[in-house]
């Protein structure tokens, strides 16, 4: 089945609680499928980073793509965090909750002219440059708008993160970042460009990293480049290591954040670059354990070779299993004496890839509730309306209080932006 995701989820009198609220009560009040988040789990995850960096010059920017709900963004904004964004929509979201534009890092490989112009007008703090054409586009637009944005260059260090190939981003075969061997020349050009201020260097090698050795390998590669820049008379202010710190979905062992921070700082100090401010952009490790997807078993289906629990949540609500073959913990909301059976937990979407979990021993039966835990990251943010299914509601729990932070789609929401021409 899986273990409880954090200390703020517990069984009481055989019923699963999020903080002080019974999940069965939330299902009754808001319906299913339903995303539920523990505020305290988010706060504690953020605190771990803050504590680890407390004596070191740093900037922490939450990666909005992990979960972009406004309420979650506001929790982190109130803690003084900045934001790592990858689209115009994410920029609009963080500005909506009152984020300081100077604390925004605009990443992503495909920034459009519109996105660059809007971000420049908003006063975004840093643009993370990922290619020579992007650098040229930004410099041209900045000159037209008579502004001089700060930039980092994302360098691809060709380091294997030993993670799923779909979320590995630091190999030379990946689309991300400037080729390591081309970076020096491009950085030299940026250093004398009147339209931008070269402020830092960046790398992001992948996601769900449970060992910190790939970070240290990437750091060593960046330090080699920094030494060449220093020899050319170019000094930078920031070094950005992206995000990617993993979480425990099943049996992974993840090192304490302190080990990563101390290891990076030690390398910078030994190389004479301890003046650099360390920038990090965690996402998954802030919100994954805080969220779960609550669903209801509609049918128990038995075939000669399989037992299925068919739920009202599908791959459109949580695509990680279908997309990555990701292992997600599944827990019953009510502990019972019902016989345990080996089930595949599947959804109602018309795809064979529509599954949430395979080969799980569960005591579930029709009408029961299940929680797919560790779903706070890349759950709702990747949800879709495939099969014309309505996006689920989201609820934030804080102690004894639950608050709706996103309403479930109405049926009309499914076609709000569609137009039937009058001549059809």
Instruction: Give start and end residues of each alpha helix (H) in 15-112.
Output: 23-30, 39-52, 70-78, 88-96
The answer to whether the CB of 393 falls within 8 A of the CB of 30 is yes
Tell me which residue of 126, 171, 66, 283 sits closest to 116, measured CA to CA.
126
The answer to whether the CB of 342 falls within 8 A of the CB of 360 is yes
Residue whose token pair is 């100090």: 269
Measure the CA–CA gap between 51 and 61, rounded to whole angstroms. Answer: 15
Tell me which residue of 204, 273, 303, 214 sits closest to 244, measured CA to CA.
204
DSSP 226: H
The answer to whether the CB of 294 falls within 8 A of the CB of 37 is no
Which listed residue (18, 203, 338, 350) is catalytic?
Answer: 350
Q: What is the dihedral of CA 57, 59, 60, 65, to 10 degrees?
A: -150
Residues contacting residue 224 through CB under 8 Å, at least 6 positions apart: none
Measure the CA–CA gap between 363 and 32, rounded to whole angstroms. Answer: 19
How many alpha carbons lie under 13 Å from residue 285 in its C-beta half-sphere?
A: 24
Q: Within 10 Å of residue 263's Cβ, how many Cβ atoms?
A: 16
- The verdict on whether 61 is a catalytic residue reads no
Copy the structure tokens of residue 340: 């345990």
SS (H, E, C) 308-333: EEEECCCCCCCCHHHHHCCCCCEEEC
Tell me which residue of 285, 281, 273, 287 sits closest to 128, measured CA to CA.
281
Give me the sheet containing 9-12, strands edge to edge. 9-12, 15-18, 21-22
Tell me which residue of 200, 171, 226 sits closest to 281, measured CA to CA.
200
- Could you give the residue numbers annotated as active site? 350
């Amino acid at each position: 089945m899986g273990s409880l995701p954090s200390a703020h989820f517990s069984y009481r009198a055989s019923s699963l609680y999020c903080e002080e609220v019974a999940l069965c009560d939330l299902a009754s009040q808001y319906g299913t499928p339903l995303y539920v988040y523990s505020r305290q789990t988010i706060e504690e995850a953020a605190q771990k980073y803050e504590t680890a960096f407390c004596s070191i010059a740093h900037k922490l920017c939450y990666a909005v793509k992990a979960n972009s709900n406004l309420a979650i963004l506001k929790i982190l904004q109130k803690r003084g965090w900045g934001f790592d964004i990858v689209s115009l929509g994410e920029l609009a979201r963080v500005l909506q909750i009152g984020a300081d534009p100077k604390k925004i890092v605009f990443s992503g490989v495909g920034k459009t002219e519109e996105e660059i112009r809007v971000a420049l007008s908003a006063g975004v703090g840093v643009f993370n440059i990922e290619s020579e054409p992007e650098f040229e586009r930004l410099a041209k637009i900045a000159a037209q708008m008579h502004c001089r944005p700060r930039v980092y260059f994302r360098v691809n260090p060709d380091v294997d993160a030993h993670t799923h190939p779909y979320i590995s981003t630091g190999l030379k075969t990946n689309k991300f970042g400037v080729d390591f061997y081309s970076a020096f020349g491009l950085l030299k050009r940026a250093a004398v460009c009147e339209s931008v201020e070269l402020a830092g260097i960046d790398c992001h090698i992948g996601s769900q990293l449970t060992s910190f050795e790939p970070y240290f390998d990437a750091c060593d590669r960046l330090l080699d480049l920094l030494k060449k820049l220093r020899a050319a008379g170019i000094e930078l202010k920031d070094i950005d290591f992206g995000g990617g710190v993993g979480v425990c979905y099943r049996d992974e062992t993840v090192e304490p954040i302190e080990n990563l921070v101390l290891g990076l700082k030690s390398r910078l100090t030994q190389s004479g670059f301890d003046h650099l401010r360390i920038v990090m952009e965690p996402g998954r490790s802030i919100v994954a354990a805080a969220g779960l997807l609550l669903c209801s078993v509609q049918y128990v289906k038995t075939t000669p070779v399989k037992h299925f629990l068919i739920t009202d949540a599908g791959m459109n609500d949580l695509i990680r299993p279908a997309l990555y073959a990701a292992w997600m913990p599944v827990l019953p909301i009510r502990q019972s004496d019902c016989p345990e059976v080996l089930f595949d937990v599947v959804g109602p979407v018309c795809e064979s890839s529509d599954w949430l979990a395979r080969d799980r021993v569960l005591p579930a039966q029709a009408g029961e509730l299940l929680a797919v835990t560790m779903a706070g990251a890349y759950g709702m943010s990747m949800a879709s309306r495939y099969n014309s299914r309505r996006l689920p509601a989201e609820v934030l729990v804080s102690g004894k209080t639950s608050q709706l932070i996103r309403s479930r789609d109405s049926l009309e929401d499914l076609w709000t932006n569609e137009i039937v021409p009058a001549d059809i």
